[in-house]
Structure 1
Amino acid sequence: MDLVEAIEKLKKKDNEAFEYIYNYTKSSVYGIIINIVKSRDVTEDLMQDTYIQVVKSINSYNSNYKFSSWVIMIARNKAIDYYRKNKKEMLIDITESEYLFPNVKSDVTNELNANYFLSLLDDSEREVVILYAMENYKHKEIAKILNKPVGTITWLYNKAMKKMRDNMKEEKL
């Protein structure tokens, strides 16, 4: 089954298609939500809400747009809505890097470094870095997802990379 076929089957409420779509998008959805709410439990709840919304709204998906971008936008909106309703300080959980960096060997040092470097960034920078460096989206795609100009996305990414490089030099990592 490919993505186009899975989307069509999901419109007919096919469970296997849902599973395919979930596996195809789950790391991006998790990464975008955890970046905003910074709580594993809340992220899992919002992921469930996201996929419920995907199933309910699948017939309104416009195939002229990238499917994963559409799903991420739903997830991002759910997370932002939650954050606005529950404005309180949320800390980065050191165990989250396993989900944020699935291709990196998950040992304590890598987890500490990943979370440390992400903690140096503000929310906008962190969101761009997650989508670009970890989810392999291009700046143009990120701009559409975040509804910001491409120039702003490029600037945020470069600013974030400079912060991390400068800190790496200071810490001699």
Structure 2
Amino acid sequence: MVNEILFKKAVNGDKDSFIQLIEPIKEKLYKVAFVYLKNEDDALDCVHDGIIKAIKSLDTLKEPQYFNTWITRIIMNVCKDYIKKNSKVVLVDINDYEDKLISEDNKNDINYEIKTALNKLSEKERNLIVMRYLEDNSLKDIVTKTNLPLGTVKSRLNRTLIKLRKYMKEA
């Protein structure tokens, strides 16, 4: 929940208040950008550009409690625009999430199975799995990020998990 007093001060141009709003979520914003761009410098540039856009349009946000979702969405849109502008194709590299997926005990056996299974999924399916289980986003956050209805997100996640289990059994 965003501190409404800080939010109001930020809307009125108080830079320190805006920094205090950003501080607890800055790492999350970077991670979102990095997932899209797979490049540290590009991700940092997009976060910077997104924060500047947010500062300029902060007065358009009517409900302070949606600040985190709102700024995350701005970062996502800046990243998407950057990708379009630079004609880059960005796929989720599951290797970046290797440590989150497996424990040291079973690393060799399970690592291969998981990578193989995840690589069989489409990009959209992989992104859903990454958002839900590796980035630990709530369904509501995924709905916001993907701009899809909740029912669609739930059914796609369910179908993707069924596919993933099937692929894991095959491996």
Verify same fold: TM over 0.5. yes
User: 2 CA distance for matches of 1:76 and 1:70?
Assistant: 10
* Correspondence for 2:19: 19
Q: Quote how far apart the aligned CAs of 1:45 are.
A: 0.7
User: 2 CA distance for matches of 1:168 and 1:84?
Assistant: 34
Q: Quote how far apart the aligned CAs of 1:82 are.
A: 1.0
Residues 38-53 of structure 1 mapped to structure 2, 5 A cutoff: 38-53=38-53
Note closer, same or farther for the CA distance 1:131–1:13 as it changes in structure 2 (3 Å cut).
Answer: farther
Q: Is the 8 A contact 2:30 2:43 kept in 1?
A: yes
User: 1 CA distance for matches of 2:119 and 2:27?
Assistant: 19
Larger-gyration structure (1/2): 2
Unaligned residue ranges in structure 1 (runs of 5+):
none
Give TM-score, length-normalised by structure 1. Answer: 0.69
User: 1 CA distance for matches of 2:36 and 2:59?
Assistant: 27
User: 1 CA distance for matches of 2:49 and 2:62?
Assistant: 20
Residue identity in the other structure for 2:137: N
Q: Are 1:153 and 2:153 matched, yes or no?
A: yes
User: 1 CA distance for matches of 2:92 and 2:142?
Assistant: 22
* Correspondence for 2:56: 56
Q: Quote how far apart the aligned CAs of 1:47 are.
A: 0.6
User: 2 CA distance for matches of 1:13 and 1:118?
Assistant: 46
* Correspondence for 1:30: 30
Q: Is the 8 A contact 1:143 1:153 kept in 2?
A: yes
Residues 105-120 of structure 1 mapped to structure 2, 5 A cutoff: 116=115
* Correspondence for 2:3: 3
Question: For each residue in 1:59-114, what CA deviation from the matched residue of structure 2 results, as whole angstroms up to 9, or x when unmatched?
Answer: 0012076222211211111111111112234465688549x96xx99xxx6xxx5x
Question: For each residue in 1:4-39, what CA deviation from the matched residue of structure 2 results, as whole angstroms up to 9, or x when unmatched?
Answer: 233222213334323332233334323332232222
Percent identity, aligned pairs only? 28
User: 2 CA distance for matches of 1:16 and 1:118?
Assistant: 43
* Correspondence for 1:142: 142
Residue identity in the other structure for 1:41: D
CA RMSD of aligned residues (A): 3.7
Q: Quote how far apart the aligned CAs of 1:168 are.
A: 4.2
Residue identity in the other structure for 1:7: F
User: 1 CA distance for matches of 2:6 and 2:120?
Assistant: 39
Moved more, 73-82 or 36-45: 36-45
Unaligned residue ranges in structure 2 (runs of 5+):
none
Note closer, same or farther for the CA distance 1:83–1:12 as it changes in structure 2 (3 Å cut).
Answer: same
Counting matched residue pairs gives: 163
